[in-house]
Amino acid sequence: MTCFRKCSYGKCVNKVTDEKGLVLSSVAEKEEAFMKIADIHIHVFPDKLAEKAALSIGEFYDKTAYTIASTERLVNELAEAGISRCVISNSATTPKQVHNINTFLAQAAREHPGFIGFGSLYPGMEGYEEELDRMEELGLRGLKIHPDFQRVPIDASCGIDMYRSIARRGLPVLFHMGDDRYDYSSPKRLTNLLRKVPDLKVIAAHFGGWTIWERSLNHPQPENVLYDTSSTIPLVSEELVYRMFDRFGPERFLFGSDFPMWKPKDAVEQLLRFDLGEDVMEKILYGNFCKLLGLDAEEASS
């Protein structure tokens, strides 16, 4: 497979072609070209909470979730989308929820070989060091923090020591980013946190600022911060998506569906409509995921 260059929105990108040099223009053709897909942004809950949780998330965002957030439904959706690996998570809204959430996520990851668990903490909670120890013992590989659900700003002083401990352990943090109704997860607050904890590994969800994409565009994060593609492409113009890829560098992105809010197969197809080139698209869909989580070639292909 080869590629040729095309200029788009001021930046040259590669177009994917087959072995005969024909451009792969359809989404279906591109899906066949990119056989490995990993999803960094998925929410899943115990069966007894799966429907209620999806409804609650939808109510928070004034949008109906695509489906319930159960592991059984997720497995079926991933198979349909051709996704072989994913990070599963959900966010504690009180300190009391942390223990049970992390226990559930670790169990779900053990029972499904393609799942990787990101645990949860509540900034300012007592006993976070002991819970981080337990999370690592359980095999959880990172954390998901949702400042807007928790109503704790990303850069709040009560969480700084916790993030320093997370950084010392080398665990990545997937932050929900952005909401035009609040200021808990603004790009500026993330930058403030990183000034205090510069070695923290961060994935900034939703192109760095859900519903405040222009603010994210005008406030790029340090180069060590990655971004995910979740809950953005269907909501903004194609031009803005290209501008954000150009500004941040498409090689810094990871694919995310934000299941159960969106159908994973649709999210894959939406991303593949962009002409970013074979090498860059492979990194977004799979390579950056493996690099972030330290998956070697053998483990990544399993």
Domain boundaries, the chain: 36-265
d(CA 264, CA 102): 24
pLDDT at 298: 44
With H, G, I as helix, E, B as strand and everything else as coil, classify residue 299.
helix
Q: Which CATH class is domain 36-265?
A: alpha beta
The answer to whether 6 touches 15, Cβ cutoff 8 Å, is: yes
Radius of gyration of the chain (CA): 18
Residue closest to 248 by CA, chosen among 205, 293, 207, 194: 207
pLDDT at 30: 56
The residue-averaged pLDDT of 222-231 equals 96
Task: Give the rounded distance of the alpha carbon of 221 from its chain centre.
Answer: 16
Does the pLDDT at position 26 exceed 90?
Answer: no
Give residue 151's identity as a one-letter amino acid code: R
Q: What is the pTM (predicted TM-score) of this model? A: 0.89
Structure tokens at 194: 């990183």
Confidence category of residue 10, pLDDT binned at 50, 70, 90: very low
Q: What is the pLDDT of residues 94-128, one digit of tens each?
A: 999 999 999 999 999 999 999 999 999 999 999 99
The answer to whether 15 touches 33, Cβ cutoff 8 Å, is: no
What is the 8-class DSSP label of residue 197? S
> Can you give the length of the chain in residues?
302
Using the structure block, give the residue that is written with the tokens 């990655």: 226
Confidence category of residue 35, pLDDT binned at 50, 70, 90: confident
d(CA 301, CA 9): 35
pLDDT at 8: 43
The answer to whether 232 touches 207, Cβ cutoff 8 Å, is: yes
Does the pLDDT at position 4 exceed 50?
Answer: no
With H, G, I as helix, E, B as strand and everything else as coil, classify residue 247.
helix
pLDDT at 3: 35
The residue-averaged pLDDT of 254-260 equals 98
Residue closest to 151 by CA, chosen among 127, 115, 172, 179: 179
Beta strands in 22-62 (DSSP E): 38-43
Structure tokens at 205: 């969800």
d(CA 157, CA 259): 31
With H, G, I as helix, E, B as strand and everything else as coil, classify residue 136.
helix
pLDDT at 48: 96
**What's the per-residue H, E or C state across 181-233?**
CCCCCCHHHHHHHHHHCCCCCEEECHHHCCCCHHHHHCCCCCCCCEEECCCCC
Work out the angle at residue 65's Cα, subtended by the Cα atoms of residues 59 and 69, and round it to the nearest 5 degrees.
Answer: 105
Q: What is the pLDDT of residues 129-181, one digit of tens each?
A: 999 999 999 999 999 999 999 999 999 999 999 999 999 999 999 999 999 99
d(CA 44, CA 88): 6
Does the pLDDT at position 21 exceed 90?
Answer: no
Beta strand 11-17 with 2-8 is antiparallel
The residue-averaged pLDDT of 230-248 equals 96
